[in-house]
Chains A and B, each alone.
Chain A
Amino acid sequence: MAPKQEFKTTAMFKQLMSQYYAQGVEARRKNIPVAWVTAVFPVEILYAAEVFPYYPENFGALAAARKIAHDLSELAEAKGYFYDLCGYARCGIGDAYAQEHPVGEIERPDIIFCCNTQCGSLPKWFEAASRFYNAPYFLLDAPLIEDAWEEQVKKYFIKQLEEMIDFLEQSTGKAFDYNRLVRVLDLSNEACRLWNEILDTAALKPAPFGFFDACFHMAPIVTWRGTEEAVTYYRALKEELDERIKKGIYAIPNERYKIYWDHIPVWPRLRWFADLFAEHGALVVVSQYTHSWAYNFDPSNPLESLADNYLKSFVNRSFDKRIDLKINFMKKYNVDGFVLFSNRSCKPNAFGLYDKSNVIKNVTGLPGVVFEADMSDLRFFSEEQVRSKIEVFVEQLKER
């Protein structure tokens, strides 16, 4: 297979991300509080409060992608944190106790924010961290949302956003600036819009961009969302993709099948999976994971629209609703089959996948497969088992 042509924006990406990490150091020098936040969190409020948001999950993904997750995990395990916990948490906790930091040291927090829309692992990890680092902790609690009790949950969430702003004013000693929040929301909207346009190019056949590319390029939409930097970056990436489409440069040569993937990639095996599919002319084109950042805020109604967007993240929806969302993606991207990753680290995404897979097969008639592994820890990865499962699945694709 011809080597993949690097994106020009990759250089820009590297520069942007190192600038992001440098900001953490810079923040300390300038006395700007470093705040830990979770990926699905109304970070717009923190940017508006001029606090530096740091993403420990991102650290976990980085450690996983560099294949050192289990080294860090063992340090956490030595303290009594078991390897049944989320891999990101084990990396973060392990690094706190580590002497050596092969992927850089996890940033020490001055304050800790957490939203449990995603899972119940993050709040427990961050709670422990708040005691370890002696940093005040704020949990934004997001009960599962369904139409029948949407109003009640939304009211609760908005009330907490107000409490959070009070908490921020106390921690920073500065009055919260709502005008700045409106500007941040505009920037966030713009970056999300661009990001989704980029993701949508994967629906073209053949596509210039797929899920594994998105996993690489998503760091700025997580970390820089709400700033000019994110907008500039995704504008450049979008332009580059348009150019590629014109020139006929595609994600894989001879794309024959499009695949839906749920949910996170197996970070240390990202490339391995991409190649395995490419061998058969299959391209993974869509996943709820990379589509998490599809926010659309109404800046004239900031708190309510933050509540709407963050509460309704797919992981926080009911079983049936989540199936509908998956099927909608499958239709929109016109996929030929689906792969569901039962990620040992991530109970809220993995539990229920077997039943979901059956329902999806019945409704769509598409072939699908569920495989077991861990997103970061290769101790739970059986290459032979996964390969043979995927190969059986690919055979089903070919038979259709």
Chain B
Amino acid sequence: MTANALVKQFYDVVNNPGNAPREWQKQQGGRVIGWLKTDVPEELIHAAGFLPYGIVGGKTKFSRVDAHLQSWACSLMRSCLGIALNDELNFLDGLIIPHTCDTTRMVSGIWRQIHLLPYMENFFLPRQVDRASSKMFMLAELMRLKESLEVYSGSAITEENLRNSIALYNENRGLMRLLFAMHEKTPGLISCRDLYTVVRASMMMPKETHSHLLEQLLQALRIQNNVYQGRDKVRVIISGPVWEPPELMDIIDSKGTVVGDDLLTGFRYIASDVNTEEEPLAALAERQLNRIPFACFDSTQNPRRQFLVNLVRQKQAKGVIFLHLKFCEPENYDYYDHKLALEKAGIPSTRIETEVGGVSVEQMRTRIEAFFEMLGGI
């Protein structure tokens, strides 16, 4: 198959959200456990014999959401609720909600009211990551989640199962990182939107199938490698929770290219593997504390500032575009510091206020294009 035909398959998964899990249910007769962004240890869900399914929002009708969640909540959570209210998630048997911020913390209660599922869990991450107690709690929480999944599945998660799931996930992440590396070297090979669609699809379909498709895609791209150019595109870093709305990527594609990010639905999702040498739960805990910093679980020095500066330098990017969801408090509190750190390092940046689900990108287009022009792109 050609690269194009393969890429299209990832788009099919993303554009028809329920299809892949429904198909899996039909074939395997198993149960699907959804998770809201982000950091939920899918390896555990998978090891329990369930299909993890990432609910990352999308186009929806917001009118029904208003009766449950105020219009000044982030559109990411509002669109997730909207999708649920629209019965588009009726293949779910369960849901795990990570407490990343006050919005998710409250959504966990609202969700039970409007869409009660047989299995509902919270996932608590330590908000401080600098002290010994955070590791202790992280491990205890993973243990709790494991037990809770075992109770629901009716059988124990064996160490062997967990090791197999970790290996499967590590492999999938590794493949996606290869794709990122290839794109960074030859940005014209595959568009940014295609690249990030591959990541997003991986949250919404069985990893086994995803890896299989992805291997074929990598192979196809290797063959086309020399044909494509794009090395002279203006290189930028993007930062924020999610790359929404997706059309935003097309705008970036038309002006330059992304060579690095810290997005929950981007490189941050695949950056950190789980150490296979260690006891699996301890390794999962360690991975969590080693992830790319994110507004909800920073250490107090805000290491993300330095992370961004380093990333720009390492990837020889020309600037940073912050994609910040309107009403997202955690990101907003850190923004001034990020901006300052970049300014000090002489790195231009811009902040685009984004929304998930059916918003016009025209305003964003003007801002993004102007930024690229400023960077000397076109």
Contact = CB atoms under 8 A, between A and B. Distances in A.
A320 B108 CA distance: 11
B337 interface: yes
Interface string A129-143: 011000001010101
A167 to B, nearest CB: 9
A128 B334 contact: yes
B248 to A, nearest CB: 20
Contacts of A153: 124
Interface string B87-119: 000000000000101110111111011100000
Contact of B333 (A116, A125, A318): A125
A82 B327 CA distance: 8
Nearest to A317: B109
Contacts of B329: 84-86, 120-121, 124, 347
A123 B110 CA distance: 24
Given A81-B336, A159-B136, A319-B109, A355 B327 contact: no
B334 A124 contact: yes
A74 interface: no
Interface in B19-42: none
A272 interface: no
Nearest to B66: A354
A38 interface: no
Contacts of B114: 355
A130 B300 contact: yes
A139 B336 contact: no
A205 interface: no
Interface string A76-101: 00011110111001000000000000
B137 A156 contact: yes
A144 B126 CA distance: 11
B330 to A, nearest CB: 6
20 contacts: A80-B336, A85-B333, A86-B329, A120-B102, A124-B329, A124-B334, A127-B300, A128-B336, A139-B127, A139-B128, A141-B137, A143-B124, A144-B122, A159-B133, A160-B128, A160-B133, A318-B109, A320-B109, A344-B72, A351-B110
Contacts of B102: 119-121, 347-348, 351
Which of B70, B122, B296, B339 has most A Cβ within 10 Å?
B70
Contact of B140 (A128, A152, A163): A152
Contacts of B295: 124
Contacts of A125: 333
A97 B57 CA distance: 37
A155 interface: yes
Interface string A99-130: 00000000000000000100111011101101
Enumerate the 5 nearest inter-chain pairs by beta-carbon distance, A residue then B residue, closest first. A319-B109, A124-B333, A351-B106, A143-B124, A347-B102
A131 B305 CA distance: 12
By size class, the interface of chain A is 35 or more
Contacts of A359: 113
A352 B336 contact: no
A84 B326 contact: yes
A164 to B, nearest CB: 10
A263 B302 CA distance: 32
A318 B105 CA distance: 9
A259 to B, nearest CB: 22
Interface in A220-269: none
A342 interface: yes
Contacts of B136: 155-156, 159
A141 B106 CA distance: 17
A139 B134 CA distance: 11
Tier of interface size on chain B: 35 or more
B168 to A, nearest CB: 29
Nearest to A351: B106
A68 interface: no
B14 to A, nearest CB: 28
A354 B68 contact: yes
B351 interface: yes
A352 B136 CA distance: 31
B144 interface: yes
Contacts of B109: 318-320, 322, 352, 355
A319 B110 CA distance: 8
B223 interface: no
Contact of B336 (A79, A318, A354): A79
Contacts of B300: 127, 130, 137, 139
A80 B300 CA distance: 20
Contacts of A347: 73, 102-103, 106, 329
A355 B68 contact: yes
Interface string A152-181: 110110011001000000000000000000
B127 to A, nearest CB: 5
A328 B365 CA distance: 52
A378 interface: no
B297 to A, nearest CB: 10
B131 interface: yes
A258 to B, nearest CB: 27
A348 B102 CA distance: 5
A9 to B, nearest CB: 36
A80 B322 CA distance: 12
Interface string B204-216: 0000000000000
B131 A81 contact: no
A322 B110 CA distance: 12
Interface string B330-360: 1011111101000000000001000000000
A352 B111 CA distance: 10
A86 B327 CA distance: 11
B194 interface: no
A352 B104 CA distance: 11
Contacts of B141: 152
Nearest to A142: B127
Nearest to A322: B109
B67 interface: yes
Contact of A156 (B73, B133, B301): B133
A124 B330 contact: yes
Contact of A141 (B126, B144, B330, B339): B126
